[in-house]
């Protein structure tokens, strides 16, 4: 007998590498552009005396600002420490049933980690050969459903109509739509939260808001869903949103023009890179995100991944069934993408 017999042993989620130094980082879907100058100003003028006091348990001014900008009542919004925290609380809150929860087989690789950690039975539903979600596959008995839209790491968007079909066909399950990438040109199901009391929409400041380092995520849903999530949150840690986070988040939300500009820059770069990748012999499902999930006609993804890394360019590759031949390439600045494309051109020419 040892204390180790009593350890809750888990296999953790493996985040993308965060290497230091002069590298081109296209591996964790961060935004290549900095937050608005208003964020800098807000942090510089922050009154550090305030740090003596606990923050507001619900996010205070950040909640007020989100409510104003999204036009959604405050008691229909939950704020967490990034959407990973929001999703983790949602899993603990809504998936206490006996039937398995459902999510796609190729998807965000944190879902099965939480399911294991919280002892939630789950079943993965295969995407079709085009990496698309088949809506009829989500009609079987289940204890809940999680779908990212657009999906990660594929970048594929599912139509609002198809998602509504899944949500309305499962009135006895909470359906979580993880919209981490929705601001890069996809449509949001947010307008449906008043129609379906089983719909929870999760978004994040990490990608389209240029603030992965600040850790803000939010969920939108009807009052009862949000109340149940708060009950769980207040059973773990009430003061999750610190005062500096609130100041930075509010300032970012106050600069909608900047956000629009940054997002359209990323989308324009993505569309340009799609053309270049095609010319180089890559194919990929059409992306509505800030990344492209691409496979080369001749060269293995692993070889490209390793060669790029040697040149200081980091993309993401998984040693996993079905997606072994794919690279997930985050859209960086135009300059970064030019360097990456130049590397690919040289590597592919030398290889073939
Ligand atoms: C990035 C990502 C998240 C979590 O991001 P946070 O930084 O924790 O907000 C959640 N879901 C998907 C699908 C993601 O790609």
Residue-wise pLDDT tens digits, 281-299: 999 999 999 999 999 999 9
- Tell me if the bond preceding 150 is cis, omega within 30° of 0: yes
What is the whole-number distance in angstroms between the Cα of residue 346 and the centre of ligand 1? 33
Average pLDDT score over residue span 72-77: 98
What is the whole-number distance in angstroms between the Cα of residue 86 and the centre of ligand 1? 10
pLDDT of residue 130: 95
- Does the pLDDT at position 15 exceed 90? no
The DSSP symbol for 1 reads: -
pLDDT of residue 352: 67
* All residues at 6 or more sequence positions from 245 whose CB lies less than 8 Å from its CB, including other chains: 62, 214, 215, 216
What is the whole-number distance in angstroms between the Cα of residue 205 and the centre of ligand 1? 9
pTM above 0.95, yes or no: yes
What is the whole-number distance in angstroms between the Cα of residue 222 and the centre of ligand 1? 22
Confidence of residue 79 (pLDDT cuts 50, 70, 90): very high
Atom of ligand 1 nearest to the CA of 28: 1
pLDDT of residue 60: 97
What is the whole-number distance in angstroms between the Cα of residue 139 and the centre of ligand 1? 26
Q: With both helix axes pointing from N to C terminus, report the angle between 256-279 and 334-351 in degrees, rounded to the nearest 10.
A: 10
Confidence of residue 21 (pLDDT cuts 50, 70, 90): confident
Per cent of the chain over pLDDT 90 is 96
Atom of ligand 1 nearest to the CA of 217: 9
Q: Is 30 in the pocket of ligand 1 (CB under 6 A)?
A: no
Q: Is 92 in the pocket of ligand 1 (CB under 6 A)?
A: no
Q: Is 212 in the pocket of ligand 1 (CB under 6 A)?
A: yes
Q: Is 147 in the pocket of ligand 1 (CB under 6 A)?
A: no
Ligand 1, atom 14: closest residue by C-alpha = 180
pLDDT of residue 20: 86
Helix ranges, the chain (H): 37-44, 60-70, 82-94, 111-117, 160-169, 223-233, 243-253, 256-279, 301-310, 334-351
Residue-wise pLDDT tens digits, 179-227: 999 999 999 999 999 999 999 999 999 999 999 999 999 999 999 999 9
What is the whole-number distance in angstroms between the Cα of residue 152 and the centre of ligand 1? 9
- Does the pLDDT at position 27 exceed 90? yes
Between the CA of residue 78 and those of 117, 202, 314, 318, what are the distances in Å?
22, 9, 33, 32
Q: Is 100 in the pocket of ligand 1 (CB under 6 A)?
A: no
Q: Is 179 in the pocket of ligand 1 (CB under 6 A)?
A: no
Q: Is 240 in the pocket of ligand 1 (CB under 6 A)?
A: no
Residue-wise pLDDT tens digits, 308-324: 999 999 999 999 999 99
**How many alpha carbons fall within 13 Å on the CB side of residue 251?**
21
pLDDT of residue 327: 98
Q: Residue 239, exposed/middle/buried by CB under 10 A (0-12, 13-18, 19+)?
A: exposed
Q: Is 152 in the pocket of ligand 1 (CB under 6 A)?
A: yes
What is the whole-number distance in angstroms between the Cα of residue 351 and the centre of ligand 1? 35
Residue-wise pLDDT tens digits, 138-147: 999 999 999 9
What is the whole-number distance in angstroms between the Cα of residue 13 and the centre of ligand 1? 12
Q: Which helix (H) or strand (E) holds 293?
A: strand 291-296
What is the whole-number distance in angstroms between the Cα of residue 202 and the centre of ligand 1? 9
pLDDT of residue 219: 98
- Does the pLDDT at position 261 exceed 80? yes
* Sheet with 217-220, edge to edge strand ranges: 77-80, 217-220, 199-204, 175-178, 145-148, 101-104, 122-125
Atom of ligand 1 nearest to the CA of 84: 8
Ligand 1, atom 11: closest residue by C-alpha = 180
- Does the pLDDT at position 228 exceed 90? yes
- Does the pLDDT at position 89 exceed 80? yes
Return the number of other C-beta atoms located less than 10 Å from residue 81's C-beta: 18
């Amino acid at each position: 007998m040892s204390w180790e017999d009593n350890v809750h042993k888990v296999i953790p989620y493996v985040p993308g590498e965060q290497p230091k130094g002069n590298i081109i980082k296209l591996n964790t879907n961060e935004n290549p552009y900095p937050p608005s100058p208003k964020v800098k100003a807000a942090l510089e003028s922050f009154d550090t005396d305030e740090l003596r006091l606990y923050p507001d348990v619900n996010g205070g001014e950040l909640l007020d600002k989100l409510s104003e900008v999204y036009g959604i009542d405050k008691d229909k919004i939950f704020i967490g420490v990034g959407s990973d925290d929001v999703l983790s609380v949602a899993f603990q809150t809504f998936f206490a049933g006996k039937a398995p929860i459902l999510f796609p087989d190729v998807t965000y690789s944190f879902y099965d980690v939480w399911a294991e950690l919280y002892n939630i039975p789950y079943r993965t539903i295969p995407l079709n050969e085009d990496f698309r979600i088949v809506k009829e596959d989500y009609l079987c008995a289940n204890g809940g459903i999680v779908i990212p839209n657009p999906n990660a790491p594929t970048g594929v968007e599912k139509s609002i109509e198809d998602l509504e079909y899944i949500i309305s066909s499962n009135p006895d399950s909470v359906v979580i739509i993880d919209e981490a990438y929705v601001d890069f040109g996809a449509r949001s199901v947010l307008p449906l939260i008043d129609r379906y009391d089983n719909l929870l929409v999760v978004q994040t400041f990490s990608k389209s808001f240029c603030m992965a380092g600040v850790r803000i995520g939010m969920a939108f849903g009807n009052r009862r869903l949000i109340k149940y999530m708060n009950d769980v949150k207040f059973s773990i840690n009430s003061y999750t949103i610190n005062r500096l986070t609130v100041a930075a988040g509010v300032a970012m939300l106050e600069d909608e023009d900047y956000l629009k500009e940054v997002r359209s820059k990323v989308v324009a770069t993505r569309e340009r890179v799609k053309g270049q990748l095609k010319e180089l012999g890559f194919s990929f499902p059409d992306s509505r995100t800030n990344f492209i999930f691409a496979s080369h006609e001749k060269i293995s993804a692993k070889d490209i991944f390793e060669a790029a890394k040697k040149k200081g360019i980091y993309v993401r590759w998984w040693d996993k069934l079905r997606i072994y031949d794919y690279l997930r390439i985050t859209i960086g600045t135009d300059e970064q993408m030019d360097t990456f494309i130049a590397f690919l051109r040289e590597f592919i020419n030398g290889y073939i």
